[in-house]
A and B are shown apart, each in its own frame.
Chain A
Amino acid sequence: MRKFLLYLILAVIGIIMLYPLLWLFGASFKSNDEIFTTIWFIPKSFDAEVYKNAWVTVTPYTMGHYFVNTFLIIIPKTVFAVLSSLLVAYGFARFDFPLKKLFSALLMCGMLMPSIVTILPMYRMWSSLGLLDTYIPLTLPSLFACEGMFVFILIQFLKRVPKEFDEAARIDGCGTIKTLFLVLMPCIRPAVISIAVFTFLWTMNDFLSPLIMIQSVEKYPLSLALRLSVDSTGQGYEQRKIIAMSVIGLIPSVAVFALAQKKFISGITAGGLSG
């Protein structure tokens, strides 16, 4: 009985959470007036043609090409972000060093400034280095642990791991780095996975940075390709094509999250000092 109640609550909330996605999928088959007037997600007719058109796009490249571009950005970015955030968080959480207070303050400061303000100076910097229209401005900052939020999260999670683990590792002969990767990281694995997932999802949705930094359509990531069709003065454009594109664009994000949350299940619960 308890289980049934639980499932019921989960289902009700789940529907509320999921409905816009259902609606979006249904809307990709609806005509313009239908989209803006009906709220029920099942469309009057199903015509898969819209997905074919959406995939092909009017540019010389298909959505597949833009997917690849996006992955060329996301994968290095995620790897860089996780590695550098781990190292830096480890340094802050477990070690004491000169100027630590200054750097902690800098870390906080980095989080407080709205990113809008940093875009133009960054643009000018990359422009003077001749690195515009490459993926470097989009991926390199992650190598330097610039996402203060991730470092901050990892620091707090690391602080919860008892220092005895470090000592035990040291006794077993682990150096500083080994301690981090073999002993500490597994303890905070859910947090590390969260950070990887966040990097992935936010990069997928990130629109302003690639728009400003990238010039050639060939290098557009998915987030830019999705906005290609939306003009301010449309001449009878079909909303459903744009919606179909955004449905296609959402699939990797949903898939990645669905896979990643499985890792949470197998995330260990710190079982004391044994092992």
Chain B
Amino acid sequence: MRSRFYRNPVGVSKFTGLILILPFIIGAVLFIIYPFIYSFIVGLKDTNGGLSLDNYRNILTDSSSRRTLFVTLKYTAVLVPLKLIVSLLAALLLNCELKGIGIFRTAFYIPSILGSNIAVIIMWQYLFTSDGLVNQLLKAVGISPVGWYGDPNYALFIIVLLRLWEFGSTMVIFLAGLRNIPKELYDAAKVDGCGRIRAFFSITLPQLKNIIFINLILQTIAAMQEFNAPYLITGGGPLGSTRTVGMHIYDEMFRFGDEGTANAISWLLFAVIGIIIILLYRFTEKLRRD
């Protein structure tokens, strides 16, 4: 084995790191490797009890399964950029030292706490049903109302809006990142006559590079795995237009009791998300390098 040079601070052995992540190593075996292998094998089980690729074949040839992937990708592509922008704006807004800002920070975070509460379901119905608030606003501006819940082309936006409204967690991470930016940078910029907007683009954004990346990755993973929101609000939507892969897995596993198919879909989803993440890493490599 070629000996490798381990870049560690002076006096630190190459095993210190290993010892530090020891809890993770144990945890990985018990809670990642074991369920993964278990799930992989179950995914290969067919109806006769033997091992075969039947489950995978069935899923890939089923048009409604392929549709769920398309719906999920569409959902992710729309939601993630919007969510990042909204959360960042909110975090900037809440980063000031105004008196009572704490109340607003808590208020902005409440949607994330509510989760799958019945209040959310009823609120969303109030907004988007045919006599709902959104349609009334549209009418007031002269646009003809839309059947949000019932139209396969529009139902997905109801879900997107729900998750967008719950920007709390992403915003909190941005806030944490903003708090870490040294004030001196802004002071120096002011002295140089830098305007606020310029300061945002030349100081804030670059300093937040890592944080934006965290949120991008985490939100993409979360969006690809989405299940709760469509399950509660549209139940998979008119003609399957809001049926995500996450819902498909849940249905197979818990409603139909088909563990094999559920696990097979999960592995396929895992592979797709993995590819997306790798692509994201590659494309942002240059931007992230300091």
Contact = CB atoms under 8 A, between A and B. Distances in A.
Interface centre among A35, A112, A159, A242 (most CB of B within 10 A): A112
B122 A36 contact: yes
Chain A interface residue number, banded: 35 or more
B111 A17 contact: yes
A144 B27 contact: yes
Interface in B93-109: 93-94, 96-98, 101-109
20 contacts: A9-B93, A14-B107, A17-B108, A36-B122, A106-B33, A107-B24, A108-B277, A109-B32, A114-B269, A117-B249, A144-B30, A153-B214, A191-B173, A194-B176, A198-B169, A205-B116, A242-B118, A250-B114, A265-B97, A272-B182
A111 B114 CA distance: 23
A95 B210 contact: no
B187 to A, nearest CB: 11
Interface of B is mostly: helix
A94 B28 CA distance: 20
A6 B117 contact: no
Contact of A103 (B25, B111, B217): B25
Interface of B: 4, 6-12, 14-21, 23-28, 30-36, 38-39, 90, 93-94, 96-98, 101-120, 122-123, 126, 165, 169, 172-173, 175-177, 179-184, 210-211, 213-214, 217-218, 221, 225, 227, 246, 249-250, 253-254, 259, 262-263, 266, 269-270, 273-274, 277
Given A10-B93, A36-B122, A271 B182 contact: yes
Interface string A179-207: 00000000110110110011001000100
A263 to B, nearest CB: 10
A168 B77 CA distance: 44
A20 B180 contact: no
Contacts of B109: 257, 261
A151 to B, nearest CB: 7
A145 interface: yes
A110 B266 contact: no
A144 B24 contact: yes
A95 B12 CA distance: 9
Interface of A: 3, 6-7, 9-10, 13-14, 17-21, 23-24, 27, 35-36, 39, 84, 87-88, 90-92, 94-100, 103, 106-114, 116-118, 120-122, 125, 141, 143-146, 149, 151-153, 156-157, 159-160, 163, 166-167, 170, 176, 187-188, 190-191, 193-194, 197-198, 201, 205, 239, 242-243, 246, 250, 253-254, 257-258, 261-262, 264-265, 267, 269-272
A88 B20 contact: yes
A155 to B, nearest CB: 9
Contacts of B33: 106
Given A88-B23, A117-B39, A160-B180, 10 more contacts: A92-B17, A97-B15, A109-B32, A110-B32, A113-B270, A114-B266, A116-B266, A146-B32, A267-B176, A269-B181
A20 B221 CA distance: 27
